[in-house]
Chains A and B, each alone.
Chain A
């Protein structure tokens, strides 16, 4: 199976390379794999995730996603790559002035799908995350768990090649957490989506085979 993500001697740093967060990390992730990245607070988990969706660039080494070297990729290519990713944030990053339905279909809107397709997909996705009755509400009218389910529905909207999730169930109740893990497991199992989750703790209810990386002392190590 081909690598979807591959990092080679990757170093990530802030402040013009003076503050190193990740140093000399080498790893690769194949299509359809479910990967957990754990580590203590401030270890660089979220920084690694930001690098994976091109928000920050490697100060050294290479990071290749879907065949695209993010260090040298042109802006338009990076934009295109992001349209094949589903990204889930701990703070949801929903657009508060848009309805739940509109938030969910953002990736379809960007891809230029017709309004009819967007509406149909919004209904289907919201049914999946058990929020059908909230379609016309605004994010701030929902609970944290419900907002995160909207975020997950948005991430799944365009059947992405890769899902990147940053502490997706961090502060959520058990019900919302279970719904979210189910959805991500299904995406991985049924659609062969590569899922990469940054989290403090691997959930005990998780049933799929997975790979586990830990970030420690700036290094990224696989736990066998």
Chain B
């Protein structure tokens, strides 16, 4: 019972950190694809006196990734109904040129304002419409959710780290006598800390395994049967097999630091 308790006291906070890491990875991937979607769905309208090329726009601001000319004939046919062909040609000639301009990434409102300014600085550009208000509210909501989740993950990791430090104190107490006796008889560091490493590495593997199983369950059972469109669409982002490697590496780094801290502090007290 004591043996299981000792392991769980380390595995659980380690799992909490790994869950934090995995949530971060999942969130990062999900927000990346969401950002991509927002970026693809967003365009600004640029009105020019003369026809303009993509290179001209990109020369004014590097964030511009593509531009598409909006056909003026459609506009003319709407506004010149019942007007003669000659008159409609005249209207077409008088109309400026319209471009739908897309950006390379999801930018803040300050960056949008800068792009607008950069474009308007060109003599050929008549006006720029960024549709800033609707963009701004989506951007703020998105940033708020992103920040909240990151703060929560960091908070969870800090609390878990404290629990691990507490567990290290218990380890130190439990293993101190053995390590000190072994040191007196000339045992090298690796032999002295061998048992501790074994226990810690097993715990790291178990914590990685439990965390991975939890996410695999989320991916293949919960998300698939949730009926929530966003979950079903983003199912692939939930857990990737490469994440097992990342989680194991994080867990091993934490346990190696924990074990060395115990080994060196136990030695310091003896002397």
The chain A residues found within 8 Å of chain B, CB to CB, are 53, 55-56, 76, 78-83, 85, 87, 93-98, 106-107, 109-110, 154
Shortest CB-to-CB span from A88 to chain B, Å, is: 11
Docked-complex contact A106 and B177, CB < 8 angstroms: no
Closest to A80 in B: B186
**In contact, A79 and B184 (Cβ under 8 angstroms):** no
Q: Which 9 A-B pairs have the closest CB atoms?
A: A82-B186, A83-B186, A79-B186, A110-B187, A95-B178, A93-B181, A95-B181, A107-B185, A106-B185
CB distance from A41 to the nearest CB of B (A): 22
Q: Is the Cβ of B186 less than 8 Å from the Cβ of A98?
A: no
A53, A79, A97, A107: which contacts B188 (Cβ < 8 A)? Answer: A79
Tell me whether A106 and B188 are in contact (CB under 8 A).
no
Distance between Cα atoms of A79 and B185 in the complex (Å): 8
* 8 Å CB contact of A95 from B177, B188, B191, B271: B177
- Contact residue range for chain B? 10 to 19
Cβ–Cβ contact A106 & B182, under 8 A: yes
Measured CB to CB, the nearest residue on chain B to A81 is B186
The listed residue (A56, A93, A109) touching B184 by CB distance below 8 A is: A93
A106 to B181, CA, bound (A): 9
Q: For A106, list chain B residues within 8 Å (CB).
A: 181-182, 185
Q: Which residues of A contact B186 (CB under 8 A)?
A: 78-83, 85, 107, 110
Q: Tell me the bound Cα distance from A97 to B184 in angstroms.
A: 17
Q: Are A53 and B184 in contact (CB under 8 A)?
A: yes
- Chain B binding site: helix, strand, loop or mixed by DSSP? helix
Q: Report the separation of the CA atoms of residues A172 and B181 in the bound assembly, to the nearest whole angstrom.
A: 22
Contacting residues of chain B (11-39) with chain A, CB-CB under 8 angstroms: none
Q: Which residue of B lies closest to A96 (CB)?
A: B177
- In Å, the complex CA distance between A109 and B188 comes to 11
Known interface pairs A56-B271, A79-B186, A87-B184; 9 further A-B residue pairs with C-beta atoms within 8 A, sorted by A's residue number: A55-B271, A82-B184, A93-B181, A94-B181, A95-B178, A106-B182, A107-B186, A109-B191, A110-B191
The chain B residue with its CB closest to the CB of A89 is: B184
- Chain B's nearest CB lies how many Å from the CB of A51? 13
Q: How far is the CA of A55 from the CA of B186 in the complex (A)?
A: 11
B185 to chain A: which residues have CB within 8 Å? 82-83, 87, 106-107, 110, 154
A98–B187 Cα distance when bound, in Å, is 16
Q: Which residues of B contact A53 (CB under 8 A)?
A: 184
Interface centre among A76, A78, A79, A83 (most CB of B within 10 A): A79
Can you give 7 contacting A-B residue pairs, CB < 8 Å? A55-B184, A55-B271, A81-B186, A95-B181, A106-B185, A110-B182, A154-B185
On chain A, the residues within 8 Å of B191 by CB distance are: 109-110
Which residues does chain B contribute within 8 Å of A85, judged by CB atoms? Answer: 186
**Residues of A contacting B271 with CB < 8 Å?**
55-56
Question: Smallest CB–CB gap between B206 and chain A, Å?
Answer: 22
A112 — nearest CB in chain B belongs to which residue? B191
Closest to A92 in B: B181
Chain A: minimal CB distance from B6 (Å): 12
Nearest neighbor of B180 in chain A, beta-carbon distance? A93
- Please give the distance in Å from A48's CB to the nearest CB on chain B: 16
